[in-house]
Structure formats: C-alpha cells, structure tokens
Amino acid sequence: MFGAGIWLWESGLKTLSMLGAFEQATERARSIREWRIADSRGNILMSRPMTPTDRMLLPPRADLYQALIDRAVELGVQIFTSSVVTAVKPEGALVLESGEERRADLILIANGAYSQLRESILGTAWMDFGIEAGIRMLIDHQPGDPTDIITEYWNGPWRLLFNPCTSGENYIFLSAPVGDERARKLPIDRNLWKEQFPDASGLIDRFAEAGRWDRLVNVRCRQWSQERVAIIGDAAHAMPPNLGQAANTAFINVMALAMAMKDASDIPTALRDWETRQRPLTDHVQRWSYLYGFVIGKWPRGFQSLRSDILRSLGKTEWFDEGISRGARHVPDGYGVELPPVQARPALERGIS
Ligand SMILES: Cc1cc2nc3c(=O)[nH]c(=O)nc-3n(C[C@H](O)[C@H](O)[C@H](O)COP(=O)(O)OP(=O)(O)OC[C@H]3O[C@@H](n4cnc5c(N)ncnc54)[C@H](O)[C@@H]3O)c2cc1C
C-alpha cells in the first residue's frame, strides 16, 4: 500500500466492473483525458487521447488494493498474511514455511516478478533485470496542476512522469539508468532532476521526501502451468511499466482463467488452453513495453533531436497507436456475459490475520 498511483485502462476497468470492485477502486481516481510524451522543455512528441469507451482512470494503488481485498472478503475469501509459501507441488499442493502442506484443486503462483515458486514448476524461461530503475511517490496537488493530462518528460535516459491522481494528490514517477547512483537516492537528489528538467524546478521542489525505488524487470515463462498449478501476474510476465499495463494484463488473464475454469472437468487441459488463448496478447504488450524502454533508454545522447523527430512521426501512425493500445482496448473474456450471481458467504476469517 505504498504511495503511488496506477494506470487503469479500459480492459482493467471492465475487469474491475465484472468483479464488483470498480466503484470503490476508482471513487477518488482522476479521469485522464490524454497521455503526452514530451521532451525536457515540454515540446509534445506524442499524444494518446482517451475517449468515453477507451478510458483511463488513475487511482492511488492503495484504493485499488483495498477495493479488491474488501470485495474478496465480502465473497468469503480467506486472506492470510505473514504466511510464506516455500514450495508448490504440481499435483496441487503448497508448502508453508512451517512445513505444513495445503492441498487444492488449483494453485496460482502470484507472488511477483522475483518469484522463486515459479521454479517449482520450472516456469522461468528468461529474466532480464533491465537497464532502468525508478522512484514512485505521491505529492500534494496544488491549484494550477493539470487534472486530466499525464505528461512524460524525457531527457536522454532520464524520465519525469507527472500524473494527476486524486483531487488532493499527484503521482510522480522518475526513472533513470539503473547504475545512476544519484537517481536512486532517497530523499530525492533534487539537483539531479533540476539539471535534467530545469523547466520543472518548481515541481521538483515539491517532491516528497519518501518514495519507493524499484528496478524495472522483465520475466518470460517457458510455460504458465503444469498439472494443477498456474503462474499469473508479474510472476508470469513482469514487464517495465512503460505502457502502464502490467497489472491490467494480469487482470485480463485472471478473468480469462476464471472463465476457462468455470466448466472445466480437466484442469491441466483447461490451463494449457488458457495459456494458448492469452499468451499472444500478453507477449504483445510485454514486447511493446520492453522495446519502448530499451529504444529510449539506449538512444545515443548526441542524437536526441532525431529521437524526438522519430517519436513525433511514429506517434501519429495507426501502427503505433495499435501497438501501445492493443492490451488497453482488449475486451476481457466473460465481459457482457450474464454470470450467475455469486453467493456472498460469511468469511471464516475476516480481514488481515
Ligand atoms: C514503477 C512501476 C509502475 C507501475 N505502474 C503500473 C501501472 O500504472 N499500471 C499497471 O497496470 N501496472 C503497473 N505496474 C506493474 C504492476 O505494479 C504489477 O504488474 C503488479 O503489481 C503485479 O501484481 P502481482 O500481484 O502479480 O505481483 P506483486 O504486486 O509483486 O505481489 C506479489 C505478492 O506476493 C507476495 N509474496 C511473494 N513471495 C511470497 C511467498 N513465497 N509466499 C507468500 N507470498 C509471497 C508479496 O509479498 C506480494 O504481496 C508498475 C510497476 C512498476 C515497477
């Protein structure tokens, strides 16, 4: 529940509606009209407009997490925290730190990019620690700050991303080459960011003291499942956040999995079919996220204006728009299908233990 916002695209929003978590997750979120990429002086290089049927809402992460937790608990899901899983068995068992074993019809490995459990089914094909890292923070909103436009400023490999988030807060993301010691400092080294983005020095003065630094990693799997175990979310397909679509992709895949399991009599086969169906879209989103960061991050410093010219031209093409938006515009499996009402059951163990 750290201080950051999250881009929720149309596909993710549709999923949240299906889950019954949309209202709570997005209650405070800003509705975004446009995502802009700009050079360090603010000259616009690319614009990606939103429409009422191709939306982006931007809540704080904590609002999204709380909405999902509340809805799960409402439906009778038991949540155990401080409960570390040390191994998973393909036949449908997980092993806890205490040595205790739990059996299930289906086990989902959803423990993030650095998942070791993934290796319980030899899932990893490739993990790339990437060339970029970044800091996220929330700062106070002030009168005059944009309320519906995201702007992503680039200077060489440094990026300053401004996001309207709620009526009281903006979300800032700063990224830089992973080896840049000054760029990973917390509290922020304001001078570094002012050197790179002198026109934004007023904003940089308002940066928070606290933030969270992460490397931007990529994960590809050999397979997403074995027998009764499936890998999902970042554990299956972590990607750098250049399109803001990794969690949205996880939502789409989870919903497709739920639909695949609805009438499945043979879980291993249903899991394989699910991967065959979902993998091409996931690979597409991941490839575009990766290439975006790689090309921009590796671009030679002496050729900045050429980079700007290329982005300006490419950004106007349908090919580019489709490339960056295919995942965002995807209609999740089961959307619009009349689902039987879920019986809310009293939770055996409510909330956080
Ligand atoms: C800088 C940045 C910005 C991003 N912005 C966006 C965005 O705007 N939009 C978007 O769609 N995506 C975004 N993402 C990606 C998004 O954050 C991830 O895709 C998402 O958090 C993945 O969720 P997850 O549940 O798969 O994994 P995680 O969020 O990593 O959660 C994994 C959980 O598993 C737990 N865990 C780990 N190991 C074990 C174990 N052995 N036993 C029990 N529990 C365990 C962890 O404690 C953690 O709670 C961004 C990512 C970054 C780095």
pLDDT tens string 142-157:
999 999 999 999 999 9
pLDDT at residue number 341: 67
Which H or E run includes 46?
strand 44-49
Q: Minimal CA–CA distance to 249: which of 173, 326, 172, 318? A: 326
Atom of ligand 1 minimally distant from the CA of 85: 42
Helices then strands, counting H and E runs in the chain, come out as: 10, 18
Q: Which atom of ligand 1 is nearest to the CA of 234?
A: 26
Beta carbons of 245 and 328 less than 8 angstroms apart: yes
Which residues of the chain have a pLDDT value below 70?
339-353
For the CA of 134, the nearest atom of ligand 1: 1
Sketch out the chain's domains with CATH numbers: 1-124+221-353 (3.50.50.60)
CA 331 centroid distance within chain = 17
Ligand 1 center–CA 242 separation, angstroms: 15
248 CA distance to ligand 1 middle (Å): 11
Q: What pLDDT was estimated at residue 351?
A: 37
First to last CA, the chain: 17
Alpha-carbon 115 to chain mean position: 16
Q: Give residue 340's pLDDT.
A: 65
Q: Give the pLDDT score at 342.
A: 66
pLDDT of 13 reads 98
Residue list, ligand 1 pocket, CB within 6 Å? 6-7, 84-85, 110-112, 117, 134, 136, 173, 214, 216, 233-235, 241, 244-248, 250
Q: What was the pLDDT predicted at 282? A: 98
pLDDT reported for residue 296: 78
3-state SS, one letter per residue, for 219-267: EEECCCEECCEEECCHHHHCCCCCCCCHHHHHHHHHHHHHHHHHCCCCH
Tell me what pLDDT residue 301 has.
79
Under 8 Å between Cβ of 39 and 153:
yes
* Whole-number pLDDT of residue 293: 81
pTM of full prediction above 0.85: yes
